[in-house]
Amino acid sequence: MGMYDDIVDGVSANFIINGHQFYAENINGDEPFNRREVRFKPVLNGTLVAKKGKYIQRKLSFTTTLYHPTGRPDTHEKILKEIVSKPVEVMSPYIGTDSIMAVVVFSPNVDEASPNHMTYDVYITEIQNVSLISGESKLQVPAVKVITTSQGSSTKIKQNRKVLKKCKVPIKKNSKGDCVKAIQYLLNVYGYLSKKNMSGKYDNNTIKAVKQLQKSFKKNGLKVSGTVDKKTRDTLLKL
């Protein structure tokens, strides 16, 4: 039996890690094609001008389900141990045309386990290395800056996601209530809305913040409307 019982060749969500193909679902990543820091500078009339800064690492995660003979969850253990033991080559249309060298971690999801398959959360982090960006000289990837504090606790983030998940969409201008508070909290945590603008009302500041979020994930199919529709809500739930 192969690692997958229903693999579809050629789909864009496929990842090849150390020569082994993985079918990915629930892909999360901060603009994996963009390998530069983008700095926004406000000018007249509040317009934001984007300037590219230093080279950044690409980080992303996805879930994958590996199938094995009934009662043999150790079937793919050798392959996974080989992948996590050292930096490996990762290829996917999702991260561009070139391969990257990365550290890969597989985290088994015991809640999704069954006698004939196991679901894993897979985390990919591009390692410090010399990489080539088209039209530029080779650039050294900087060391990872460890963030020790967060604008929101994981518990409170989960609570607000739980509230938002139950909200009916679309949510738009002049809306009030717990759904708007949850949206504003998550927008603040992810840097799109300042704390002082968490008014509890879906006002112009919230609309601007939602538009910035939608612009960031426009390539994922989000419409830049300033209204929280289903795709925008789902994005806030997955960040």
Give the pLDDT confidence score for residue 142 in this predicted structure: 39
- pLDDT band per the 50, 70, 90 thresholds, residue 201: very high
pLDDT at 51: 56
Phi, psi of 192 (to 5 degrees): -95, -20
Find where tokens 């601007």 sit: 208
User: What is the identity of the amino acid at 135?
Assistant: G
Q: How far apart are CA 30 and CA 16, in angstroms?
A: 20
How does residue 191 score in pLDDT terms, banded at 50, 70 and 90? confident
Report the candidate in 201, 225, 199, 221 with the shortest Cα–Cα distance to residue 212: 225
Helical axes 178-189 vs 204-216, angle rounded to 10°: 50
Range name among 22-26, 29-33, 194-198 with the lowest pLDDT average: 29-33
DSSP character at residue 228: B
- The pLDDT-based confidence of 230 (bands split at 50, 70, 90) is very high
Q: What is the mean pLDDT of residues 183-204?
A: 88
Q: Quick one: tokens of 19?
A: 């020569």
Task: Please tell me the distance from the alpha carbon of residue 42 to that of residue 163, in angstroms, as a whole number.
Answer: 33
Cα dihedral 221→28→86→106 (10° resolution)? -130
Among residues of the chain, what percentage have pLDDT more than 90? 21
146-156 confidence digits (pLDDT tens): 333 344 566 78
In the chain the domains, ranked by start, together with CATH numbers, are 14-140 (2.40.30), 154-238 (1.10.101.10)
Report field, pTM of the whole predicted structure over 0.75: no
